[in-house]
Amino acid sequence: MAPYASDDSTTGGEVDEQRSGRRKAARYVVPVTVMGVAAATIGLVPALADSGDPDLPKITAQQLIEKIATSDVQQLSGTVKISTDLGLPDLGGLESSLMSGAAGRGEGGSSADPTAKLTELASGTHTLRVAADGPDKQKLSLLENAAEYSLVHNGKDVWGYDSKSNEVFHGTASESPKHEKGKEQQPPATPKDFAEEALKAADDTTSVTVDGTAQVAGRDAYKLLIKPKQSGTTVGAITVAVDSETGMPLKFTLTPASGGAAVVDAGFTQVSFAKPAASTFDFTPPKGAKVTEEKDAGKGAEKGFGKGFHKGFDKGEARKHAPKSEEGLGKGLGGMKTIGEGWNSIATFDTGGEGVPSGKGGGDLGGFVDSLGDKVTGKFGSGTVFSTRLVNALITDDGKVYVGMVTKDALVKAADAGK
């Protein structure tokens, strides 16, 4: 008989054989139990950790909005998770090259250029780290696979650093301090930015209510629910979770009228209001890194930190969250007009047959872009509608562009009226 180890005893006899068979089977209970416990833990821990909505004193929507407005958070650091699902086809690199091409024609081709980089946020899920210490020091990092893109604003310097290609972009922030002290100095891409843009639209076309409380990044927060009263818009509802202590918006969710997953979901997963270490904002270009100066980067490059971001973001996402701020896009493309009001406002401008890669102007690329859109005809003539889950755009064959967070029909109606 085979030698058996000390912790195993099988001797002859049917009874023993049966018992040992059972004992053999019993050993397999251990791995199975471990797996079961693990599965249960993975399933249950999030449910248990969700200790229910916090109990906070009642507050009116007006008070909550004031709380956001008077919120004066100067120092913070945290991690933000942004998921955007515009329903765009996933074009990967092509998409970003298309968008950066549209945002800043003739730029120096540095992968550390903020405009080129931040348009990547327009699709997928990204993890960002933000840190801020007063109006002069901010840092925004986009965490990538084994790499990181950092945008550092320290005093008058703005640095962009792409660790993957070891390239540096350098600009100056001389313009920003004089005309926008508090607002745009906040680290962009935080839920606060989104919330402020959304609240600009809070007039008679909008209902704003307080919708209970929630826990965000371990902090107690009120939930502000913003809903368009009008029909015809693609926006379903916007939820903003506001920190009950500091009034800082911690989470921003935009759901489309068509239902389904949120189009934009940006929220802190971890946040601290302590002063970040000063070294966080120190940046010296690493040895051997290719440095692109802002003025080398061509006329399309951006000035300033917040602005550069906002513009890039506005273009990349076709201004989805900024129905009333035209500066970003208007600066780039003169002659912008707005039709309609509130949520149903439609931006329109004449491209003069260039600037937008349409079938006529863009050659091969235009043909490809055309294949993504739907042909429509109306009293205005004919054109192509590009739809996403939130923003629809109509480009007529004579070069007029209508963009808005409205349904396709509303765009055609606007084009008809404009004729």
Judged on CB neighbours under 10 Å (0-12, 13-18, 19+), 83 is middle
Rounded CA-CA distance 187/4 in Å is 68
**Per CB under 8 A, 1 contacts another protein:** yes
Please report whether residue 163 would count as binding another protein according to CB under 8 A.
yes
Considering the rule CB under 8 A, would residue 5 count as an interface residue with another protein?
A: yes
Contacts 24+ apart (CB under 8 A), 336-343: 339/402, 339/414, 339/417, 339/418, 340/404, 340/406, 340/414, 341/205, 342/201, 342/203, 342/204, 342/205, 342/206, 342/228, 342/230, 343/201, 343/205, 343/206, 343/228, 343/230, 343/233, 343/235, 343/405, 343/406
Q: Quote the least distance from Cβ 93 to another protein, whole Å.
A: 10
Pairing of strands 346-350, 219-228: unpaired
Confirm or reject binding of residue 45 to another protein (CB under 8 A): no
Smallest separation, CB 195 to another protein (Å): 25
Judged by CB under 8 A, does residue 290 bind another protein?
yes
Using a 10 angstrom Cβ sphere, with 0-12 exposed, 13-18 middle and 19 or more buried, the burial of residue 153 is buried
Contact between 35 and another protein by CB under 8 A: the answer reads: yes
Q: Total residues contacting another protein (rule CB under 8 A)?
A: 48
Kindly give, in sequence order, each residue whose CB lies less than 8 Å from that of residue 15, ignoring residues fewer than 6 positions away: none
Q: Which of 16, 282, 409, 416 binds another protein (CB under 8 A)?
A: 282
Q: Which one among 46, 52, 57, 288 touches another protein, defined by CB under 8 A?
A: 288
The CB-of-1 to another protein minimum distance in angstroms stands at 7
Which listed residue (43, 145, 259, 274) binds another protein by CB under 8 A? 145
**What's the CA gap between 196 and 202, in Å, rounded?**
10
Q: Cβ of 394: how many Cβ atoms within 10 Å?
A: 28
31 binds another protein per the rule CB under 8 A:
yes
The residue (of 129 and 315) whose beta carbon lies closer to another protein is: 129
Does position 175 bind another protein by CB under 8 A?
no
Minimum CB distance to another protein smaller for 147 or for 261: 147
One-letter amino acid of 93: G
By CB under 8 A, the residues from 74 to 133 that bind another protein are 79, 111, 127, 129
Instruction: Choose, by CB under 8 A, the member of 15, 47, 49, 146 that binds another protein.
Output: 146
Out of 57, 279, 334, 364, the only residue in the binding site for another protein (CB under 8 A) is: 279
The reply to whether 147 sits near another protein by the rule CB under 8 A is yes
**Residue 226: CB atoms within 10 Å:** 22
The helix (H) or strand (E) run that includes residue 364 is helix 363-372
User: Shortest approach of another protein to residue 36 CB, angstroms?
Assistant: 10
Q: Which residues bind another protein (CB under 8 A)?
A: 1-9, 11, 23-24, 27-28, 30-31, 34-35, 38, 79, 111, 127, 129, 141, 143, 145-148, 150, 152, 159, 161-166, 279-280, 282-284, 286-290
